[in-house]
Amino acid sequence: MPISLAFRAKFSIATLALAGMALCLAFVTTDSGKAGLGPAPGKVLISGTAYAFFDIDDRVPGAVVRIDEFPGLSAPVQADGSYVIEVPDDANVTPYIDTPDGYNDIYLQTFHTSGSNLEHVNFQVVPDLYYNGFALLLDVPRDENGQIEQCVIVSTFSIHEARDATTFDPGFKDVYPHGLPGSTATITPLMGDTRGPIYFSYPAILPDPEQTASSEDGGVLWVEVPPGYYWLEPSHPTERLAPFLAHCENGRLINANPPWGFYELKDGEEPDPAVMASEPDTTLDARVDKKAKAGGKGKKRKVKLGLNAGEPLTAKLVVTRGKRKLGPAKTKQLKPGKRKLAVRIRKQVGPGRVKAKLMLTDEAGNTKVATRKTRIGR
């Protein structure tokens, strides 16, 4: 459908729109990010190139690539725009680029490392001028510093030839336009005042709220997305595309760009395991009894605390009076179901009130601590 007159009137600087909206489409690949050495055991390498979207030959040295889930990890961007960063295997990783003044940080999709290095994980760095034009064009609310208040997610439905082009020039530059027309996508869950999907037109390369599917450009976005994890699922009448996971926080601009994001799958191909990330497990499933119980006499005095575990757990029970431990801590591996832990109280401990502290850890590393008071006799 044509863009409405009202929409055209809202932002009439055509050159700014053409360049600014290229945020979602002009991503390319290069060999410059390949690592010369293999990763350490239990690690994988992520490599790629950072460049400015208004000039794909303009690299961004001085920027730093980081990993959202692992704040201690970082890698400098070299003069040619390349970077290599080592990250844990079998982990969720969300790469982002910490940019110099005058640019805005870009986050990528959330990957789950699955035993293989990830190549051509590129960043397209956006200067303030085009960032502001992007926000103005779509009426995206911004804070007093001019930053978007919530989250924006951008991706591209890209044809498989774009993924086959593993170099920049010759290669990706020759695959243009690289979008897969007629594609659509959904976001789950649909939260708050999220707007989208908004598809980009072609050849104007403008986000058009009236458009119902992707054009040859392939661009799509969602704006005003609240914090959280979101599953983005593509669809096409005849072709299959890869989905991805996005982790939104307020002020975050995410671009799941080619050759990742919504990429076309070849006949018989399944999505790369790295893109099949899932929202991390952040809860520990266990109900701890409301009361601890003390029983026995003399050398057989014990303090017991029960729980109902909904998953395998490591449990540690400590009984104290003030800062003093009243018996050896009890540590145990628990299977799901109703379980009890007990600590034997030393014979020299006098009667009175004591505190039972139960510390639980699940296989995902989530923890839970519960304290209960009881009274022991002689």
Last residue of a domain, one of 214, 242, 275: 275
Dist. CA 32–CA 49, nearest whole Å: 7
Q: Within this chain, do residues 125 and 250 fall inside the same structural domain, yes or no?
A: yes
Q: Within this chain, do residues 305 and 260 fall inside the same structural domain, yes or no?
A: no
The residue among 38, 29, 218 whose CA lies nearest residue 116 is 38
Residue 323 pLDDT > 50: yes
Mean pLDDT (whole number) for 12-28: 37
Q: Within this chain, do residues 69 and 217 fall inside the same structural domain, yes or no?
A: yes
Q: What is the CATH number of the domain that holds 301?
A: 2.60.40.2550
Please answer whether residues 162 and 27 qualify as being in contact, where contact means their C-beta atoms are separated by less than 8 angstroms: no
Q: Is 114 exposed, middle or buried (0-12, 13-18, 19+ CB in 10 A)?
A: middle
Last residue of a domain, one of 227, 247, 275: 275
Dist. CA 327–CA 318, nearest whole Å: 8
Q: Within this chain, do residues 192 and 54 fall inside the same structural domain, yes or no?
A: yes
294 within domain boundaries: yes
CA 279 to chain centre: 8
Q: Within this chain, do residues 339 and 222 fall inside the same structural domain, yes or no?
A: no
Q: Within this chain, do residues 71 and 157 fall inside the same structural domain, yes or no?
A: yes
Q: Within this chain, do residues 79 and 217 fall inside the same structural domain, yes or no?
A: yes
Q: What integer pLDDT is reported at residue 18 of this predicted model?
A: 35
The residue among 25, 51, 187, 67 whose CA lies nearest residue 124 is 51
Q: Within this chain, do residues 235 and 354 fall inside the same structural domain, yes or no?
A: no
343 within domain boundaries: yes
Share of the chain above pLDDT 70, in %: 88
281 within domain boundaries: no
Mean pLDDT (whole number) for 19-45: 55
Number of domains in the chain: 2
Dist. CA 299–CA 295, nearest whole Å: 11
Dist. CA 356–CA 372, nearest whole Å: 5
Taking only the tens place, the pLDDT of each residue in 158-214 is: 999 988 887 766 777 678 888 999 999 999 999 999 999 999 999 988 889 999 999
302 within domain boundaries: yes
Q: Within this chain, do residues 107 and 212 fall inside the same structural domain, yes or no?
A: yes
User: In the beta sheet, which residues pair with residue 363?
Assistant: none
Per-residue pLDDT band at 215 (split at 50, 70, 90): very high
Dist. CA 293–CA 302, nearest whole Å: 8
Q: Within this chain, do residues 62 and 141 fall inside the same structural domain, yes or no?
A: yes
Q: Within this chain, do residues 34 and 179 fall inside the same structural domain, yes or no?
A: yes
Q: Within this chain, do residues 47 and 94 fall inside the same structural domain, yes or no?
A: yes
Positive or negative, the CA dihedral 73, 76, 77, 78 is negative
280 within domain boundaries: no
Mean pLDDT (whole number) for 9-15: 36
Q: What is the domain extent for residue 363?
A: 286-376
